[in-house]
């Protein structure tokens, strides 16, 4: 049986920004997506979370929607967005959509890998393609899994969350299924709390093949939001897909 991914519950949602303190990445992503969007255009973020990218784009006047299966993360988004500039939808973005079309659809910060089987990933890409307006673009940001795929033993690391809390991370790789299982243990003075997070990683060329099955083709691939070229030393990629000609 394939593993089920775990969405962000209240505990993980409460420390999400401390887990990923990536303001530079946020600014660069917003700048890049702004260049893709037409004036007054529309964007759908699959796995919108607490609105790290969606909110700055909505503040620039774009029509922004987001789907997420974590009520806790969407509650954080509502707290940060009292004027409801981002239209949020609770649901599994691999199965359901908004019923609308958008100039840009995004899967950022490795969110595509939260679909933990090949079939779920193809379904995710098909749902994304269905929600693209004519001439629209799907943008996927993901890490290159080669270093993780080479891991032969569990890896343990520590994240600093605050002056009074840390997170212990244990990462285990199942190369046969291309699955990584992260176990997060939060130590903040109370009883230790453990959460499990599952991703099904895919190599860039593999994502291209899955995208073709969903009716998409690769239009561009960068090594970062800044426009650096993608090459064999790139730790990740930003890939842009468009609908295949009929």
φ, ψ at 227 (rounded to 5°): 95, 5
Q: pLDDT band for 205, please (50, 70, 90 cuts).
A: very high
Q: Calculate mean pLDDT across residues 47-64.
A: 96
Q: Is 118 helix (H, G, I), strand (E, B) or coil?
A: helix
- Tokens, residue 200: 């099904």
pLDDT of residue 19: 59
Distances (CA, A) of 194 to 12, 109, 170, 238, 243: 10, 22, 11, 31, 41
**C-alpha triplet 36, 41, 42: angle, nearest 5°:** 95
Kindly report which listed range (71-85, 145-159, 183-197) carries the lowest average pLDDT score.
183-197
Give the residue ranges of DSSP H helices in 84-197: 118-130, 146-149
State which CATH number among 3.40.50.620, 1.10.10.10, 3.60.10.10, 3.40.50.150 fits the domain covering 10-144+201-243. Answer: 3.40.50.150
CB 211 within 8 A of CB 203: no
Beta strands in 79-215 (DSSP E): 86-90, 102-107, 132-143, 155-162, 165-174, 179-187, 193-200
Indicate the domain borders of the chain.
Answer: 10-144+201-243, 147-199
User: So what's the architecture of 147-199 in CATH?
Assistant: Single Sheet (2.20)
Q: Does residue 45 carry a pLDDT above 80?
A: yes
| pTM, two decimal places | 0.90
Distances (CA, A) of 164 to 15, 110, 160, 238: 13, 28, 9, 35
Q: Do domains 10-144+201-243 and 147-199 have the same CATH topology?
A: no
Q: Does residue 219 carry a pLDDT above 80?
A: yes
């Amino acid at each position: 049986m394939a593993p089920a991914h775990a969405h962000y519950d209240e505990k993980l949602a409460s420390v999400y920004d401390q887990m990923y303190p990536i303001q530079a990445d946020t600014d660069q992503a917003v700048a890049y997506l702004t260049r893709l969007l037409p004036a007054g255009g529309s964007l759908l973020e699959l796995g919108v979370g607490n609105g790290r990218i969606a909110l700055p784009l909505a503040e620039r006047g774009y029509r922004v929607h987001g789907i997420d299966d974590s009520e806790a993360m969407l509650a954080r988004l509502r707290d940060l967005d009292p004027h409801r500039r981002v239209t949020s939808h609770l649901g599994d973005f691999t199965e359901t959509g908004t019923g609308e079309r958008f100039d840009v659809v995004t899967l950022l910060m490795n969110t595509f890998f939260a679909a933990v089987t090949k079939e779920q990933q193809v379904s995710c890409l098909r749902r994304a393609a269905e929600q693209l307006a004519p001439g629209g673009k799907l943008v996927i940001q993901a890490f290159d899994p080669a270093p993780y795929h080479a891991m032969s033993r569990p890896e343990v690391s520590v994240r600093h969350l605050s002056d009074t809390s840390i997170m212990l991370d244990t990462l285990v790789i199942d190369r046969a299924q291309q699955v990584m299982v992260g176990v997060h243990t939060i130590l903040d003075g109370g009883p230790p709390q453990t959460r499990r997070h599952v991703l099904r990683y895919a190599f860039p060329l593999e994502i291209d093949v899955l995208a073709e099955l969903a009716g998409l083709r690769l239009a561009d691939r960068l090594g970062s939001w800044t426009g650096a070229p993608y090459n064999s030393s790139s730790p990740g990629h930003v890939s842009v897909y468009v609908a295949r000609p009929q």
